[in-house]
Amino acid sequence: MTTPITVQSAGFASAPQIHPDDLPAIAAAGYRAIVCNRPDGEGGVDQPTSDELAAAARSLGLAFAYLPVVPGQISDAQVDAFAALLRTLPGPVLGYCRSGARATTLCQRSQARI
């Protein structure tokens, strides 16, 4: 896997866009759940859909959640939903978006809500 992963805490890390062929290495690294924070279709044809990634993740025994966030428009409701995912998904969790910034911001803003 060539996608860089940034560890944010013991239970969460963030990454830029991942692809189905990245998932075996993600699972081998010990991640047990994936959260997609990138809206489908944001990146054009080079971006796999959340459904494609969810199916590939689940085939490897990884949980998958889709919580799309538009860049620069993270709402309190989305932060609350992200915090709920971190409370309920098996960890550690890997969140991703185009660059990893939205996943990182959601993690940082949700810490007081976990």
Supply the CATH number for residue 37's domain: 3.90.190.10
* pLDDT in the model for residue 1: 63
* pLDDT in the model for residue 113: 62
* pLDDT in the model for residue 95: 97
Q: How far apart are CA 15 and CA 13, in angstroms?
A: 7
Burial classification of residue 10, based on how many CB atoms lie within 10 Å of its CB (0-12 exposed, 13-18 middle, 19 or more buried): exposed
Query: Domains in the chain: how many in total?
Result: 1
Asked whether residue 36 is assigned to any structural domain, the reply reads: yes
Q: Which residues span the domain enclosing 55?
A: 6-113
Asked whether residue 89 is assigned to any structural domain, the reply reads: yes
Asked whether residue 1 is assigned to any structural domain, the reply reads: no
Query: Residue written as tokens 């990884």?
Result: 62
Asked whether residue 67 is assigned to any structural domain, the reply reads: yes
User: Along the 114 residues of the chain, how does pLDDT read in single tens digits?
Assistant: 677 899 998 899 999 999 999 999 999 999 999 999 999 999 777 899 999 999 999 999 999 999 999 988 999 999 999 999 999 999 999 999 999 999 999 999 888 765
Q: Which two tokens stand for residue 26?
A: 């993600």
